[in-house]
Structure 1
Amino acid sequence: MQAIVEAMAEGDVEAVARLRLAAFFEGTGRTLEEDITALRGLIAGDGFEAAFVARLGGSPIGSCLFVRNENDPAHDLTPWLAGLVDNKFYRGRGVGAALLRAVEAHAASVGVSGLYLYTWQARRFYETLGWTAVEAFKQDGEPMVLMARELASYSVPAR
């Protein structure tokens, strides 16, 4: 069975917030309620920013965001692909790539010509999908890389 990627809905928010807390915010003090509130604000926004969810059998197994501003950015850039997360039991099945493509397609549809993201551990994953490392640096003492993707000639990949 292949995951379905679509816009996040209210019914996805709590499950996605739990995935995000485990992946990105453990030990930071961010609460489940804070992430739920942030995701609800994003999906109720102006249509420029967007949140996508991957579902398998109706259950959320991953998510990715398109946002104007990254949390605690080290660079004055916009917009961002942020918070790509998937359930570890579904890795290697194309879920992350499908979520990334959904964000890229949305960004291109709203007139964006390029995107940015931060990562370290997933650098090779993004590089295989057309992203370029721009700058390696340290943030809060941890290694990080700024990556970019030009969307000017972006077209939605055939399925």
Structure 2
Amino acid sequence: MQPTIEAMTERDVEAVARLRLAAFFEGTGRTLEEDMAGLRGLIAGDGFEVAFVVRLGGSPIGSCLFVRNEIDPAHDLTPWLAGLVVDEACRRRGIGTALVRAVEAHAVSAGVGMLHLYTWQARRFYEALGWTSVEPFEQDGEPMLLMSREL
């Protein structure tokens, strides 16, 4: 069975929010309801911003976002690749790469020439996909890296 990547729908919101909370927001106080509301706002938006979901057998196993603004950005840049997450049991199968490429393709179709992202732990993953390190910095006392990719 092959994974499929599509625009997120309401049926994906709770499962994706649970993946995102575990990956990004543990210990931050962000609630499942808050993350679900944010995802619903994206899927009900103007079509420029998009939330992609990857499904395996109909179940969401990952997601990646194309957004105008990153949560609490340290830089005044736009747009962003954000929130790449793949269920731990499904990693190392090219799913993350496929999600990044889906966001990049959407950005190109929307007339975007440059994308940005924040990471620290996944910097080597993004470098292997052609992303460039722009600036290391600290956010909330933790190391962070601004990266970009010309499309």
The residue aligned with 2:93 is: 93
Distance 2:33 2:50 in 1: 19
* Corresponding position: 1:128 with 2:128: yes
Q: Which one-letter code corresponds to 1:140 in the other structure? A: D
For residue 111 of structure 2, give the secondary structure of its aligned residue in structure 1: coil
Runs of at least 5 residues in structure 2 that lack an aligned partner in the other structure: none
Distance 1:36 1:143 in 2: 27
Correspondence list, 1:16-95, <5 A: 16-95=16-95
Distance 2:150 2:141 in 1: 29
| 1:3 to partner: Cα distance | 1.2
For residue 28 of structure 1, give the secondary structure of its aligned residue in structure 2: coil
TM-score, length-scaled by structure 2: 0.99
Distance 1:58 1:36 in 2: 19
Query: Percent of aligned positions with the same letter in both sequences?
Result: 79
Runs of at least 5 residues in structure 1 that lack an aligned partner in the other structure: 152-159
Cα RMSD of the aligned pairs, angstroms, is: 0.5
TM-score, length-scaled by structure 1: 0.94
| 1:2 to partner: Cα distance | 2.3
Distance 1:30 1:48 in 2: 25
Distance 1:142 1:2 in 2: 37
Distance 2:147 2:107 in 1: 16
The runs of 4+ residues in structure 1 deviating greater than 4 Å are none
